Structure 1
């Protein structure tokens, strides 16, 4: 279901910019961000969503190709985690995803890897 549906990721991991793909998705405003950061329940729910998506990527390898729409999802997840939960959370997810990519023989294109690194705040790190 996570692969067939394309409108949930923007709700689970909102960003300050409007989605180009889901015009009904929320846009994360500064007051929304403050509310998330102040709410233990909101942070716990975001961590559960992060864990669910990581589990999805661990048991499915179809995204481990040069180009896949999941690469955009991963960028969104990392960016949202950094904004809402902090750099450590974003980097942790990034590191887990990169380990999956490395274990698959590094099939993901350099541009996607760069987007992930930048989203995690690791722009000076090598792939």
Structure 2
């Protein structure tokens, strides 16, 4: 039986290289590969999100996902390349939801993207696995030290739920999102 601690240490080393050096993850995909995958591929895949937005807890969807420890969190927070790549991952995830990140005089904000009409049926009109993905992204952003981006996403989602018709996101999801950023 493999030693899970050393296996996770190997995954964490791989995660550092994935985020800072362009190395592939355990499935052979680099961040650039994942950023360029079509929405339909990302929607069906349940393995990319754990590498794009790692957490300090086990993943029920991917037992091979890295589990962050404090030294890796500090590395990801302090490494400029990892931080730039996190922002690109955040923008790509927003695109998967049919949203875009726009610059305003008050800083970045979430806006409806060109593909919102087609993408909203996979997450906005009913509770789906994407609500758990949003919780993961909010939590991971904070672990990377990007509370600002977590707040931009949360505020943008709440505004969207208020302004857009046909919202089917339940209160349970919103409470999980709120808990993730507080």
Q: Which runs of 4+ in 1 moved over 4 A?
A: none
More deviation, 30-39/104-113: 104-113
User: Where in structure 2 are the equivalents of 1:39-58 lying within 5 Å?
Assistant: 39-58=79-98
Q: Which structure: larger Rg?
A: 2
CA contact (8 A) 2:125 2:166 kept: no
CA contact (8 A) 1:81 1:90 kept: yes
CA contact (8 A) 1:71 1:112 kept: yes
Match 2:133 to one of 59, 62, 73:
73
Unaligned segments of structure 1, at least 5 residues:
122-127
Q: Match for residue 61 of structure 1?
A: 120
Separation in structure 2 between the aligned mates of residue 100 and residue 41 of structure 1, nearest angstrom:
31
Are the structure 2 counterparts of residues 104 and 7 from structure 1 closer, same or farther at C-alpha, using a change threshold of 3 Å? farther
Partner-residue secondary structure (3-state), 1:46: helix
TM-score scaled by length of structure 1: 0.88
Unaligned segments of structure 2, at least 5 residues:
1-40, 99-114
Separation in structure 2 between the aligned mates of residue 57 and residue 112 of structure 1, nearest angstrom:
15
Structure 1 residue 105, shift from structure 2 partner: 4.3
Match 1:98 to one of 141, 151, 158:
158
Separation in structure 2 between the aligned mates of residue 110 and residue 69 of structure 1, nearest angstrom:
15
Q: Match for residue 170 of structure 2?
A: 109
Structure 1 residue 98, shift from structure 2 partner: 2.5
Cα deviation code 1:56-91 (max 9, x no counterpart) = 112310211332000000000000001113322211
| Greater percentage in strand | 2
CA contact (8 A) 2:125 2:168 kept: yes
1:86 aligns with 2:146: yes
